[in-house]
Structure 1
Amino acid sequence: MITVCNHDSYFVQKKDDFGAMGLLHEQKITAALRMLVYGASADQVDEITRMGKSTILESMMRFCAVIESIYTVEYLWRPTDMDLQRLLKKGEMRGFPRMIRSIDCMH
């Protein structure tokens, strides 16, 4: 959570124009995670997180952008031929032959 908050100030709790504290970063991140993990809509998450739908959707979009920005270089790269061979060998050893093909469109 700290990494997300450090990357985008949207997730840092701030005071509004009237001096009242805004939403906690935990609320915003929880809303985004519930939508991603459970496939929930903003309508399903609003009562749990006590947030408006527009804020929930904004949290979701910003959370995804932060995760993509932080982890693209290390984790979201196109596998090389050597990576594919290693994954196929590991999959076969564990009883999942041709596992790479099962990921894309279940060929």
Structure 2
Amino acid sequence: MRRELFVRIVDALTDYSEYFKWRRDAIGRKGLSPLQKCTATIRQLAYASPADSLDEYVRMGERTALDCLINFCRCVIDVFGARYLRRPNAADTQRLLQMHGQRHDFLGMLDSLDCMHWEWRNCPVAWKGQFTRGDYGAPTIILEAVTSTDLWIWHAFFGVAGSRNDINVLNESPLFNAVLQENAPDVNFTVNGTSYTKGYYLTYGIYLEWATFVKSFHVPRIPKGKKSRRGRRLQERMWGERLECPKFVGQ
């Protein structure tokens, strides 16, 4: 985390909550500073550090570290939730379309969609069966995220059992609820003479053939992949369609 971002969070929480202000105890001694409280919390969130391991680094006991974690999460939601924990509105959608169009010449592209596995070291033994997949070998929790080119995460669906894949997660995700309820912002663009009214997400091959998904082209980097029949076919397909916008599957 950059120093500017950390200081911004500390200053915002200090102005918002009395818990993060630098206070004195009954005998006039200064207690823990806002920097100590935020440092202890971020170490727990970022590195999964146990609460009782912070006594030497920030001079903080286990109970105090847990209190900092709880208050930090509540205050961050209250202070930054209205801006960073919300769905894109009509103005955000237009900005995303314009940004992706300028940077990548992809008309109508909203964001990129993908899932990733987070290892769960302390997974209970009774749950390991549903949170473990054979290709990972350890219990994991799946995070589904939608991210724009400026690394803004517009959607996060976390906590799904690691034994599932991207399709199972998509079936449970609330990502397209607004589209199904016809509350999503309108997206109007034209590609190859065809007009579209809904934006699309950039994904890869495992996803379904839906109109709202555009799959990326596979580009082999090793010699074996370039010489294979599938690699040559995909390269020819990619270079043959590169001068136009991506093919809209499912339309």
Given that residues 35 and 45 in structure 1 are in contact (C-alpha distance below 8 angstroms), is that contact kept between their aligned partners in structure 2? no
Question: How high is the TM-score relative to the length of structure 1?
Answer: 0.77
Structure-1 separation of matches of 2:12 and 2:59: 23
What do the CA deviations read for 1:42-74 (whole angstroms, capped 9, x no partner)?
Answer: 022222110111111111111111111111111
Structure-2 separation of matches of 1:44 and 1:79: 39
Structure with higher Rg: it is 2
The aligned counterpart of 1:66 is 75
The aligned counterpart of 1:54 is 63
The aligned counterpart of 1:35 is 44
Structure-1 separation of matches of 2:88 and 2:26: 48
More displaced 10-residue stretch of structure 1: 30-39 or 42-51:
42-51
Deviation at 1:79, TM superposition (A): 4.7
The aligned counterpart of 1:95 is none
Count of residues in Structure 1 that have an aligned counterpart in Structure 2: 95
Structure-1 separation of matches of 2:76 and 2:53: 23
Structure-1 separation of matches of 2:76 and 2:47: 18
Structure-1 separation of matches of 2:76 and 2:12: 9
User: Residues 1-107 of structure 1: matches in 2 within 5 Å?
Assistant: 1-79=10-88, 86-87=110-111, 91=112, 99-100=113-114, 102=115, 103=144, 104=157, 105=160, 106-107=165-166
Q: Any unmatched runs of 5+ in structure 1?
A: 92-98
Q: Any unmatched runs of 5+ in structure 2?
A: 1-9, 97-108, 116-143, 145-156, 167-251
Given that residues 5 and 11 in structure 1 are in contact (C-alpha distance below 8 angstroms), is that contact kept between their aligned partners in structure 2? yes
Counterpart of 1:86 in structure 2: which amino acid?
L
C-alpha RMSD of the superposition: 2.1
Percent identical pairs in the alignment equals: 30
What do the CA deviations read for 1:6-54 (whole angstroms, capped 9, x no partner)?
Answer: 0111111111001111111111110001001111110222221101111
Which secondary structure does the structure 1 equivalent of 2:56 belong to?
Answer: helix
Counterpart of 1:56 in structure 2: which amino acid?
A
Identify which of structures 1 and 2 has the higher relative contact order when contacts are C-alpha pairs closer than 8 Å and 6+ apart.
Answer: 1
Structure-1 separation of matches of 2:34 and 2:84: 24
Structure-2 separation of matches of 1:13 and 1:49: 15
Which consecutive segments of 4 or more residues in structure 1 shift more than 3 A? none
